[in-house]
Structure 1
């Protein structure tokens, strides 16, 4: 079944039980669209993921523009409903433009430049598509006249309902609307007291009568409506003419909205149903992690590694083999069309296939006189027409002898592999699986059976051939034990190779489960340790930040005190404040380095207060020492060398910085050039010594020296700002300079 053909796509969707999922997905489209997005799939996926990262409202439901554009091309007149379809699309794109997004979505929205002429049309439509009659005085006046006439009609009908003459004929006092005509419901014989036209009969035999007394008002309304319709037509004609000139812009919006609709439907469907967006990769490998088929509720997530050419699924009846096959094909189909699904997107990998083919249903058909096996052969013959396809076959040996089928299908599978096909099959029989089990390009998978409780688990184990548990299944579904036991006797022992494979598979299953349990336990321990380390690291970091902030605050407080003292010009207060600041700086602790001293025979050592010589060594920790003619066994930790240990030559470099800069610079009595030279040296020294604020005295005098100081400070690159000093510090005769 080619997925490029519409009817065959529908067939495949039904075969894979995806109909409900796809129908639900299509509800998120603003207008009907194909599942496949034409063009570069990688680029489409980038836009989808970028859109997935932002919050936005869904677009409105929009009609197809094919007929609209055709009318404009032929200079026809559009109806207001058709015009509003265009307005809805443009308004939605403007909403997105106003979000001022970055990245590829923002760049995309920048391409929409709305023509000013379009606003001349758009302004006449409300948010729900009604015509803004208030923008036209004539329409507004006509609308008021219609309301007036309707009010007259209601008043006339109310008078009739309260009339004494008519009261005995009235079935109820309500005003009914029948075929757009206001009517009263009356009994037979009403014509003696009421003149009017019968417009209908009630189920109880009453008459719906439109009184003649409101005919004049109705005629007025019809006349006014005709006038309004003529005005509306002129507007529609004018709007259509303007839109015809904007046809390239409308076509662009139509094309881009179709693309955007495909993107937003996938994003909002995934968000609404908590699904993942996955695109097929450029290979044929399939790895599913925590995948759940959309048709299943409360299902166990499956894990499949289908990296090889063939996957053979065996095992218990009703154990989920067919649904596993459908899950693999469904995942490939949904990844091909970027349809959201339930799985672990970070650990899953789904390849790309030109065709996805499914042989699942029983092809037997009485009408065309074809058997199950013959129908299967017809379906297999069609598979040979394709290349690079993913093929799923349920019950591959259905309809014929299993031994003959095993040989036939082994050769068929070999030929399909040569044609680049990737095949997943299910089977109850082990013959084919046994024939292909030792191949490197074949992956085995078995449905697991709970032998203790005698029920399938709907879980799967890779690398083994599973038993079908036909006898157990028969017992579970009501076949008597006597019949089952007789069948077991008739069946006898199977082939040695098959028994060996099954036994090996069971052993592998147990070993793998044990390993998984150990790995899971170890992994949980590591995760717990990781959490503890992270918590400890965060705690230490917080304590460190707290201590740093405390030190920073205390030091800044002391520095501010020093600055205040500097502004006051009190040198003693300056030094006192700086000393206080330095005291608050953290003191660097020097760690003592413990040096391991090695001892050897012949070393002169001191043992307690006695001197001696090492005459023997037991090991590194114990020595025999001869002290004043006696030999003593002593720990080396109690010994000290008595000879001088040569130290390595050391070079000491001392850097003396002459702190010449003060906080004041007095330029009184100097010439301008001499003053700038002294001031330049003073500022350099102040920068070296770390001062960020100094004061320069130049006096008032003739103003030449003050002018020279201002020019110099203005051009100096390290001077942030300067200003006249406060009155108590010199006023206009001094400058307070910030470095």
Structure 2
């Protein structure tokens, strides 16, 4: 097992990456050499273009070596090369966007390979239509097989064989057609015994059939001789194309890397994230692929040099460590993951080191702690590393280990390494807690459900819950009480203080979430009011246009009447103008009146309260006066509760700000409706540029968004976001 595979297993990524590797056309390492930005641009250029995945192909470097040594390739080896060139001929017809378009156009393939493609079918069989001799052989074999069937059918119905036939079927034994006969058949039929049945009967191939079979073998030998001619001719021709074969083989591998990542991301709605040059790690909504049951998103700010995770066993500490290392590992090799790529930042590291398992090994006489020391001695020699250590004090006295690891961690900080540490001992946390390069994180455990929440509070030390766990799993309470006494009153108070601080932090988070929900409700009510205003504004504009039209018509008729020469003509034109005067029924009120007694209503610029409703009228108290008003003249008074003043600080990038819409998980119609409304609101508020995320997924939503934006009259320009802002899964739109 190599180091890369070992790390994948430690991080619980082996199943996820095994699924990804299935998307390759042929087996290879997923490490891509070259510029990550360039690779990401190529993958992004596939978005919105439908094309087929490449066929499964074997390695051809051995075939190239055979050609170099003037050897002769088999038809199967030739077909593997044909599959590659045939796929590139297909790609040249696909309307890719840049830079993939130019790259594929620059790959020149000699016309000879197009001719070669026509010699094979899609299963790799050499086509008989390519050579008249082969067609003649195929017809000859087909005729002989027909004669064999006729001959056997005749024997099955021959009277002289009736007493020897076990059944009336043709049996295939060792790829030969035979009859199943009883003993003594020699007097009625000449043939060769091919085998015996379990009941002692004989499988016999008649001599007449044997003659046909011999003729078929002669045909097949002739066909193989012709195949050999083609194999030698093609292999000799390939000698002139050795540099090209090496080139096209390499280009196929490059494209295979791109297409595998693209189709894998699209299949599972995953995002690409480009590694930053800095060492900052900011993770937003990352889902570790190993968590299948009730997965929860991980959010963590790992800006400092050391992240020390404390808390109860099985509280999610190890999964946090694995998730951080996993995001860096996947980003390093440009492998897609389920993450908010727009708000996340992943640093670049030359080495990713993990000390997660128990290194104790009886065969090599090495203890757990000694194994840890071996690992740390190697890490101290490396540079530019992200290091993950699970249960750092494992295997020795916790106080001595805390002192030792304090020094080792400080040395790693000096080397500019980044370290994630998990522990349920508070001694090391207290020693390093005052270091400005160390961030303390507590894993939150759900005591009632007895399961990790995968939520983490930064800036505090987590509680171990050792005594509570002991009681839950059957240790007598009086034993636990004695243990608490031994543990000490001060230590127990420290535990209580830790628990209180954790609870306060969780309460604060819950209150903030509740406040955010209330603010969202207020915004929703405000949106309803805006929609109502827009609706009536549109109706008023329509009526205004209609009245303008009528007004212009009436004026026109009036002018004609003034110019009329006779009184009857004048009266006639005035009558026409009067007809154009708008009827009172022109403006229809299409509202449904669902007023009730006690409702607060608005009449023109005043507000009042309904005292009584009779038919189409209501008695309303306005400013101390009671008046009867038509229901059609009333509107419900809408009051928006003013939220309590809350001071919120929002940090925006200095260089740009976006109005953002997230369409992840929306159905096509629902997403387009939201996008339409979002654009309208942005235009009303004066925004010149907005940002929309839709993800990669199956490509359906992305395609629908593209089509919608192309048709929108106010959209001046739109395009894919930069790789660090979501790439092909997001759009920047300018009005």
What TM-score do the two structures reach when normalised by structure 1?
0.70
Matched with 2:2 is 7
Deviation for aligned residue 1:478: 3.2
**Match among 102, 106, 112 for residue 111 of structure 1:** 106
State the distance in 2 between where 1:251 and 1:472 align: 66
| Distance change (3 Å), C-alpha of 1:325 and 1:166 | farther
State the distance in 2 between where 1:61 and 1:187 align: 50
State the distance in 1 between where 2:194 and 2:57 align: 38
The answer to whether 1:343 aligns with 2:339 is yes
Matched with 1:80 is 75
* Residue-by-residue CA offset, 1:154-207 (whole Å, 9 max, x unaligned): 111222223344344444433233322222334444444443333334455444
CA contact (8 A) 2:463 2:499 kept: no
> SS at 2:300's partner residue?
strand
* Residue-by-residue CA offset, 1:13-46 (whole Å, 9 max, x unaligned): 1111111111111111000111100111221121
CA contact (8 A) 2:164 2:185 kept: yes
Matched with 2:729 is none
State the distance in 1 between where 2:185 and 2:545 align: 97
* Residue-by-residue CA offset, 1:537-561 (whole Å, 9 max, x unaligned): 8757966996899899999999xxx
Deviating more after overlay: 428-437 vs 338-347? 338-347
**Match among 422, 426, 449 for residue 422 of structure 2:** 426
Deviation for aligned residue 1:229: 1.3
State the distance in 1 between where 2:117 and 2:128 align: 13
> SS at 1:349's partner residue?
coil
CA contact (8 A) 1:200 1:207 kept: yes
| Distance change (3 Å), C-alpha of 1:224 and 1:267 | same
> SS at 1:447's partner residue?
strand
Matched with 2:436 is 440
**Match among 262, 267, 272 for residue 267 of structure 1:** 262
State the distance in 2 between where 1:542 and 1:251 align: 67
> SS at 1:185's partner residue?
strand
The answer to whether 1:314 aligns with 2:306 is no
* Residue-by-residue CA offset, 1:544-595 (whole Å, 9 max, x unaligned): 996899899999999xxxxxxxxxxxxxxxxx9xxx9xx99xxxxxxxxxxx
1:714-729 equivalence runs, <5 A: none
| Distance change (3 Å), C-alpha of 1:177 and 1:452 | closer
> SS at 1:242's partner residue?
helix
CA contact (8 A) 1:464 1:501 kept: no
> SS at 2:2's partner residue?
helix
CA contact (8 A) 1:309 1:441 kept: yes
Matched with 1:246 is 241
State the distance in 1 between where 2:184 and 2:248 align: 63
Matched with 1:324 is 320
Deviation for aligned residue 1:53: 4.1
Matched with 1:276 is 271
Deviating more after overlay: 476-485 vs 379-388? 476-485
State the distance in 1 between where 2:34 and 2:360 align: 40
The answer to whether 1:357 aligns with 2:353 is yes
Deviation for aligned residue 1:289: 1.7
Matched with 1:673 is none
Matched with 2:170 is 175
Matched with 1:93 is 88
> SS at 1:246's partner residue?
helix
Matched with 1:122 is 117
Unpaired segments ≥5 residues, structure 1: 1-5, 559-575, 585-739
Matched with 2:282 is 287
**Match among 461, 467, 480 for residue 465 of structure 1:** 461
> SS at 2:478's partner residue?
helix
| Distance change (3 Å), C-alpha of 1:367 and 1:217 | same
Matched with 2:498 is 502
Deviation for aligned residue 1:458: 3.6
Matched with 1:147 is 142
Deviating more after overlay: 71-80 vs 289-298? 71-80
State the distance in 1 between where 2:546 and 2:191 align: 96
CA contact (8 A) 2:484 2:492 kept: no
| Distance change (3 Å), C-alpha of 1:173 and 1:291 | farther
Matched with 2:128 is 133
| Distance change (3 Å), C-alpha of 1:197 and 1:555 | farther
CA contact (8 A) 2:287 2:298 kept: yes
Higher relative contact order (CA 8 A, sep 6+): 2
State the distance in 2 between where 1:174 and 1:490 align: 89
State the distance in 1 between where 2:301 and 2:27 align: 36
**Match among 15, 25, 29 for residue 34 of structure 1:** 29
Deviation for aligned residue 1:8: 0.5
| Distance change (3 Å), C-alpha of 1:387 and 1:497 | farther
1:532-611 equivalence runs, <5 A: 532=528, 535=531, 539=535
Matched with 2:611 is none
Deviation for aligned residue 1:503: 5.2
Which structure: larger Rg?
1
**Match among 250, 254, 258 for residue 255 of structure 1:** 250
State the distance in 2 between where 1:392 and 1:289 align: 19
State the distance in 1 between where 2:61 and 2:524 align: 61
**Match among 391, 407, 411 for residue 411 of structure 1:** 407
Matched with 1:450 is 446
1:557-706 equivalence runs, <5 A: none
**Match among 351, 371, 375 for residue 371 of structure 2:** 375
Deviation for aligned residue 1:445: 1.4
> SS at 1:54's partner residue?
coil
State the distance in 1 between where 2:252 and 2:541 align: 52
Deviating more after overlay: 177-186 vs 196-205? 196-205
CA contact (8 A) 1:278 1:335 kept: yes
What is the number of residues matched between the two proteins?
560
* Residue-by-residue CA offset, 1:443-465 (whole Å, 9 max, x unaligned): 11112133556654343222211
> SS at 1:51's partner residue?
coil
The answer to whether 1:400 aligns with 2:409 is no
> SS at 2:386's partner residue?
strand
State the distance in 1 between where 2:462 and 2:450 align: 15
Deviation for aligned residue 1:146: 0.6
State the distance in 1 between where 2:373 and 2:507 align: 40
> SS at 2:46's partner residue?
helix
| Distance change (3 Å), C-alpha of 1:473 and 1:237 | same
CA contact (8 A) 1:325 1:425 kept: yes
> SS at 2:445's partner residue?
strand
State the distance in 2 between where 1:545 and 1:232 align: 81
CA contact (8 A) 1:445 1:460 kept: yes
State the distance in 1 between where 2:409 and 2:435 align: 12
Matched with 1:156 is 151
CA contact (8 A) 1:389 1:422 kept: yes
CA RMSD of aligned residues (A): 3.2
The answer to whether 1:25 aligns with 2:20 is yes
* Residue-by-residue CA offset, 1:316-363 (whole Å, 9 max, x unaligned): 121111111111111111111122222222222211111111101111
> SS at 1:294's partner residue?
coil
**Match among 514, 524, 527 for residue 528 of structure 1:** 524
Matched with 1:566 is none
Deviation for aligned residue 1:510: 3.4
State the distance in 2 between where 1:220 and 1:45 align: 60
| Distance change (3 Å), C-alpha of 1:203 and 1:466 | farther
> SS at 1:208's partner residue?
strand
Unpaired segments ≥5 residues, structure 2: 555-572, 582-735
Matched with 1:217 is 212
